[in-house]
Structure 1
Amino acid sequence: MSYSLSAACCWIILAAILAALPSRDNHWRRAYGLMALGGPILVWVYLSDGVIWGLVFTLAMLSVFRWPLRHFIAWLLRAVSRRAE
C-alpha cells in the first residue's frame, strides 16, 4: 500500500473518531479541519495512485461530508436563484 493510501485510510479513521466525540458546535470546527487536511491528501492520492483510487477516496470524503455538502448545495442554489430574479 502506498503512503498516500495509508494517509487516506488514517484520515478516514480520524474522521470516524472525531464524529464519535461529542461537540457543542455540531462538529463544524472539526469538519473545517478535516477539509483542510483532506484536500492535500486527495490530490496526493490522485497523483500517486491514479484516477480509480482518487475516485474511491473522493466518494469516501463525500460520505463523511454529506451534511456540509448538503448545506453548500443549498447555499449555491439560493445564490443562483437570487441572480435569476
Structure 2
Amino acid sequence: MTISMSAACSWIVLAAILAALPSNDNHWRRAYFLMAVGAPLLVWVYWENGVVSGLLVTLAAASVFRWPLRYLIAWIVRQVTRRAE
C-alpha cells in the first residue's frame, strides 16, 4: 500500500473518531478541518495511485461528508432556480 493510500485510510479513521465525539456546533469545525486536510490528500491519492483508487477515496470522503454535500447541492439548486426565474 502506498503512503498516500495509508494516509487516506488514516484520514477515514480520524473522521470516524471525530464524528463519535460530542460537539456543540454539530461537527462543523471538525468538518472544515477534515476538508482542509482531505482535499490535498485526495489530490495526492489521484496523483500517486490513479483514477480508480482516487474515485474510491472520493466515494469514501463523500460518505463522510454526506450532510455538507447535501447542503452544498441544495444551495446550488437554489442558486440555479433563482437565476432561471
TM-score (norm 1): 0.98
Residue 83 of structure 1 is matched in structure 2 by: 83
Instruction: Indicate the RMSD between aligned Cα atoms, in angstroms.
Output: 0.4
**Gap runs ≥5 in structure 2:** none
Residue 34 of structure 1 is matched in structure 2 by: 34
* Structure 2 Cα separation of the partners of residues 77 and 51 of structure 1: 28
Aligned residues: 85
Residue 71 of structure 2 is matched in structure 1 by: 71
* Structure 1 Cα separation of the partners of residues 71 and 52 of structure 2: 27
- 3-state SS of paired residue (1:70): helix
What fraction of aligned residue pairs are identical, expressed as a percent?
71
User: What is the CA deviation profile of residues 58-85 of structure 1, one whole-angstrom value per residue up to 9, with x for unaligned ones?
Assistant: 0000000000000000000001111111
For residue 57 of structure 1, report the CA deviation from its aligned partner.
Answer: 0.1
1:1-85, aligned counterparts within 5 Å? 1-85=1-85
**Gap runs ≥5 in structure 1:** none
For residue 9 of structure 1, report the CA deviation from its aligned partner.
Answer: 0.5
- 3-state SS of paired residue (1:77): helix
For residue 33 of structure 1, report the CA deviation from its aligned partner.
Answer: 0.5
Give structure 1 regions of 4+ aligned residues with deviation exceeding 4 angstroms: none
TM-score (norm 2): 0.98
